[in-house]
Structure 1
Amino acid sequence: MSFANKVVLITGASSGIGATTAISFAKEGANVVIVGRNEVKLQQVADECAATGKEYLSIKADITKDEDAKKVINDTVEKFGQIDVVINNAGMIGFANILSDNVLSVYDTVMNLNVRAQVHMTHLAAPHLIKTKGNIINISSIAGKVTFKEPMICYAISKAAVDHFTRNVARELAPHGVRVNSISPGPVRTDILSNAGVPKTMDEINYEIPLGRISDPNEIADLILFLASDKAKAITGSDYVTDNGSLLR
C-alpha cells in the first residue's frame, strides 16, 4: 500500500496506536502530521518518521482546546497544502460508576476528548478532505458494545458515541467522495492504562480473551492503513472489530 504524497494527520500520536500508525504511514511514503501533548514522546516518534526520509510535521497540542485544534488544521494545510487522511485516535479512560460522586466530572473530561474533540477535528478537516476525496478513521473500542462491572460507564458511553458519530458522518460525506470508518480494538499493549493511573499493564489484567492473546499496536496500524488505502475504496460507515474474540464472551 503506497501513500506517496499523501498527507496523513494523526491525533494522539505520541505513543501507542497513534505512534505506531504514524511510523507505518511514513514507511509507506506518506507525509505525516503527528499531534500529541507529550513533547518528549512526540519527538521520539518524529525521529522515527524522519528516518524514513519523508516530510513530517510535529505539533504539540491539546485538541480539547478549540484554538489548538484549529492550529493543527491550519499548520497542516500551511505546510503541505492538503489533508488526505485523518486518524482520530486521541482518547482516554476515566473511572466512575453511576453512583460515584465524581461521575459528572469524569464524564465531562472523557467525553470532551473522546467525542467532542473528535467531532471538532472532523468538522475542521472535512472541507479539506472533500477537496482530496480523502477519508477518516475514528479509533473506537469494543467498550462501546459491552457493559462492565468495572467503573467504566463514561468510557463505554464515549465509544458508543464514536460508533454512531462515524456512521452519521459517513452518510453525510459520502456524496462528496469522503469515506469514514471506525476501528474497535479490544485490549492493546499501549500506555492508556498508565495514563489513567492504573498500576498494571494489559498483560497483568485477567481478561477473558478466546484467542488467549493481547494485540500489539502494529496490528491496529495495519488495519488502519488498509482502511485508509484504495484497497478499501468501497468501505464507508463500517466499524472493524479487532479484539481476539473478546466480544464472544
Structure 2
Amino acid sequence: MNRFSGKSVIVTGSSSGIGRATAVLFAKYGAQVTITGRDAGKLEATKKKMLKVMKNPENVCVVVANLTDSDGQDEIVQSALDAFGRIDVLVNNAGANVVDGTFNTDQSTELYHKTFQINFEAVIEMVKKTKNHLIESKGEIVNVSSVAAGPQALAPSPYYAASKAALDQYTRCVALDLILQGVRVNSVSPGVVTSGFLGAMGMSEQVQKQIEENFTSNRACIPAGVCGKPEDIAELIIFLADRKRSSYIIGQSIVADGGTSLVSGLTAQNIQRNN
C-alpha cells in the first residue's frame, strides 16, 4: 500500500475520468499528489475521493489553473514544490477533443491550434518546467495518448488524432534524451473509456450512453465487448510510474483498448457468414 510513499506526483486533468482515478490510486499507494484542473468543484470531489483512501490529508495539493497558460503551468509546478519539496512523477493526463460541430477535415485552423495547445504544447511545457526536478529525483513521466494516434485514420477528428500522434513521437524522443539523465518516459494509449470525455465534447448523457452501447454491441469496434473504465487506465499509469515494476520499459506507448486497434475493415467482416 506504500509503493509511492515519499514520492511527489503531479497529475494534470485530475478533475474527472482517468485523471481522477489516477490521483486516487496514487493516494491509495501513499504518494503526495498535486491535482489540477480548471474546475474547483470537480477538483474538490477528486480530493474527497482521495481522502477516503489515504492516511495523511496533507498529502493532497489542489491547484486550480489553466494548463494551456504559462502562468498556470508555473503555478502547478511551484505549488507541488512548495507543498512537497520535490517532484518524482509527472502524469500528463489533461487532454481534449476540441470540437466546433465540424466532424471532417474541413475543421478550422483555430480548432487545430486549440487542440494542439492542450494535447501537445502543454505537455512539452510541463516536461520542460519539471525536467530538472525529475532529473534530481530520477523520476518518471507518463503521458496519456490515445489509440486515435493511428495507424488507423480518425477522419471526424483529424486534429485530435494528429495531436496524439505527435505526442507519441515526442514521448519516444524525450524518452531517449532523458533516460541518459535517469528519467524514464512512457505513455498509455486508451481506447474507448467511460470517463466523461464525450461529455466534454458537449454530448448529453443520453447520447454518450447510446454511443457506448453502439460500440460495445459491435465487436468490430471493441472486440472485448465492454468500454474501459478510468481505473483500468489508472492501473497502467501506476505500473509505468513504478520503477520497481517497469524499470526496463522506456519510450513505449502501451495500448489499453479492449482490442479496438487490432480490428481492420477486412477482419471486421464475417467471412464464414458470407460463404
- Please indicate, yes or no, whether the TM-score normalized by the shorter chain is above 0.5: yes
> Where in structure 2 are the equivalents of 1:67-86 lying within 5 Å?
67-86=71-90
Instruction: Report SS of the residue matched to 1:236.
Output: coil
- Structure 2 counterpart SS, 1:21: helix
State the match for 2:266 in structure 1: none
> Highest CA radius of gyration, 1 or 2?
2
Q: Secondary structure at the match of 2:254?
A: strand
Q: In structure 1, what is the equivalent of residue 261 of structure 2? A: 247
The alignment status of 1:238 with 2:238, answered yes or no, reads: no
Q: In 1, Cα distance between the equivalents of 2:233 and 2:103?
A: 29
**1:216 and 2:225 correspond:** no
CA contact (8 A) 2:104 2:157 kept: no
- Letter aligned with residue 89 of structure 1: N
Alpha-carbon separation, structure 2, partners of 1:41 and 1:98:
32
Going from structure 1 to structure 2, the CA distance change for 1:99 and 1:134 (only over 3 Å counts) comes to closer
Structure 2 partner of 1:191: 196
CA distance in structure 1 between the aligned counterparts of 2:202 and 2:171, rounded to whole angstroms: 29
Does the 8 Å contact 2:188/2:255 carry over to 1? yes
SS in 1 for 2:97: coil
Match of 1:118 among 120, 123, 133: 123
Match of 1:136 among 129, 135, 141: 141
Gaps of 5+ in 2: 264-275
CA distance in 2, matches of 1:142, 1:66: 28
Match of 1:203 in 2: 212
Match of 2:96 among 89, 92, 95: 92
1:108 counterpart residue number: 113
By how many angstroms is 1:97 displaced?
5.2
Q: Which residue of 2 aligns with 1:147?
A: 153
- Which of 162, 178, 193 matches 1:157? 162
Query: Secondary structure at the residue paired with 1:34?
Result: strand
Aligned-partner SS, 2:66: coil
The match for 1:57 is 61
Tell me the SS of whatever aligns to 1:4: coil
Determine the structure 2 residue equivalent to 1:46: 47
In the TM superposition, what whole-angstrom CA distance separates every residue of 1:42-70 from its partner, at most 9, and x where no partner exists? 00111222231231100001110001101
Letter in 2 for 1:243: D
Q: CA–CA distance in 2 between the matches of 1:243 and 1:79?
A: 36
* TM-score (normalised: structure 1): 0.95
Could you tell which deviates more after superposition, 190-199 or 130-139? 190-199
CA distance in 2, matches of 1:24, 1:56: 12
* Counterpart contact for 2:226–2:258, Cα < 8 Å: yes
Maintained 8 Å contact 1:188/1:217? yes
Q: Quick one: distance in 2 between partners of 1:107 and 1:16?
A: 24
Shift, 1:212, TM fit: 1.1
Greater CA deviation, 198-207 or 64-73? 198-207
Aligned residue number for residue 15 of structure 2: 14
CA deviation digits over 1:160-212, x for unaligned, max 9? 01100100110110111100001000000011111111232252443611111
- Deviation of 1:13 after TM superposition, in Å, equals 0.3
Q: CA deviation at 1:233?
A: 1.0
Q: Which residue of 1 aligns with 2:267?
A: none
d(CA) in 2 for partners of 1:155, 1:204: 23
Contact 1:97 1:103 in 2 (8 A): no
Does the aligned pair in 1 maintain the 2:105–2:158 contact within 8 Å? Answer: no
Percent of aligned pairs with the same amino acid? 37
Alpha-carbon shift at residue 103 of structure 1 (Å): 2.0
Provide the TM-score with structure 2 as the length reference: 0.87
Structure-1 separation of matches of 2:239 and 2:143: 14
Aligned residues: 247
